[in-house]
């Protein structure tokens, strides 16, 4: 009988801890969302307003917009041509 009571109390205690942790997570998330919605997070507002530099895929029939640092097109998957400086190597005899 004491084992059953202990098991029930342990289950109730673990459930209570889980509810407190999950509830705190929900409350913090809602507070952060409210602050961002009101406009208190200036850094997030600046990031969303400023457009990111992009390049267009040069291949026929694609012309997708890609980030500047991309090596491959996000739509067709082909290599994006870049104006890269190739280091010159001299042959050593």
* 66-82: pLDDT as tens digits: 988 888 999 999 998 76
| Contact yes or no for 44/36 (Cβ under 8 A) | yes
**pTM, entire model:** 0.36
| Contact yes or no for 80/73 (Cβ under 8 A) | yes
- Looking at per-residue pLDDT, the higher value among 29 and 41 belongs to 29
Lowest mean pLDDT among 24-33, 39-48, 52-61, 81-90: 39-48
Tell me how far apart the alpha carbons of residues 29 and 92 are, in angstroms, rounded to a whole number: 63
Helix (H) or strand (E) holding 57: none
Tell me how far apart the alpha carbons of residues 23 and 32 are, in angstroms, rounded to a whole number: 14
Return the pLDDT at 93. 64
Tell me the residue length of the chain: 93
pLDDT band at 42 (very low <50, low <70, confident <90, very high): low
Please list, in sequence order, all residues whose beta carbon lies within 8 angstroms of the beta carbon of residue 39, skipping any fewer than 6 positions away: 45
């Amino acid at each position: 009988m004491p084992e059953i009571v202990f098991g029930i109390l342990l289950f109730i205690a673990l459930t209570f801890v889980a509810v407190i942790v999950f509830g705190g997570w929900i409350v913090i998330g809602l507070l952060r969302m409210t602050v961002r919605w009101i406009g208190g997070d200036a850094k997030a507002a600046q990031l969303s307003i400023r457009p990111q530099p992009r390049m267009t895929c040069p291949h026929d029939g694609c012309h997708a917009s890609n980030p500047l640092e991309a090596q491959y097109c996000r739509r067709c998957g082909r290599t994006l041509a870049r104006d890269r400086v190739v280091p010159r190597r001299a042959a050593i005899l």
